[in-house]
Amino acid sequence: MNVPRPTDLRGLDAAALAALIVLVLGWFWMTTLVTQFGDLQLRFHFYQLWSVLENPTRLLSGSGDGDTLTTVLFGGVCLLAALAVFLPYRMPQRSAWLASLAPLALMLVCAVLLHQRTSGDVLVDTGRQGSLGSAAIAFANQLAGRLTQAAATRIRLGLGAYVSFAASAVLAWRGLVQYRARAGQPRERLLPLE
């Protein structure tokens, strides 16, 4: 019987390879978030999202000059998450198939963090400012909330967000199916299924 070695990628099915290609295109080439003010459009790719998470006002002002290091580092994290789908072909353990969840997990964590960072109060009332200070903070937070709501109507998901989410869901589903299919198999049989 011709059993592929763990480093043999011939067991990679066409659907998974297509999903991986779409994922990489969605993260690194297509636009994930778009802010539009009339004719002015600010476009953000997924690999640039960490600089937006650090300072959500960049959704309204664009990326800054100091974002290069953050973008390169988070781009590396994105690349590692995408390449994690190859882990089962390098490691014979059944649990290696769970690495296929990495792209979907990264997207979900970023979505939750972006929501959390853009929906909270701008200023925190610690109670040390007295009643007048607390009233001023409450007013500022209310005003910021209204401005945020107005700005949110100008921000939308780009095509890259949709296609990369779909691709990461396909990869996660495929990894979970392969993980479950290998339940109870001897360790030496935990190589990719044909």
CA 135 to chain centre: 38
Provide the CATH number for the domain around residue 33. 1.20.140
Evaluate whether residue 132 is within a structural domain: no
Residue 191: strand, helix, or coil: coil
Distance CA 115, CA 112 (A): 5
Closest Cα partner for 19 from 94, 87, 91, 100? 100
pLDDT tens figures, 10-23: 667 788 899 999 99
| Confidence tier at 193 by pLDDT (50, 70, 90) | very low
Evaluate whether residue 127 is within a structural domain: no
Check pLDDT > 70 for residue 30: yes
Question: How many domains is the chain built from?
Answer: 1
pTM for this predicted structure: 0.75
Q: What is the rounded average pLDDT of the residues 23-44?
A: 89
Residue 78: strand, helix, or coil: helix
With b for 16 or more beta-carbon neighbours within 10 A and e for fewer, the 10-35 pattern comes to ebeeeebeebbebbbebbbebbbbbb
Evaluate whether residue 117 is within a structural domain: yes
pLDDT tens figures, 86-129: 998 888 888 889 999 999 999 999 999 988 877 765 555 566 66
Which residues constitute the domain of residue 86?
Answer: 12-122+154-178
Evaluate whether residue 41 is within a structural domain: yes
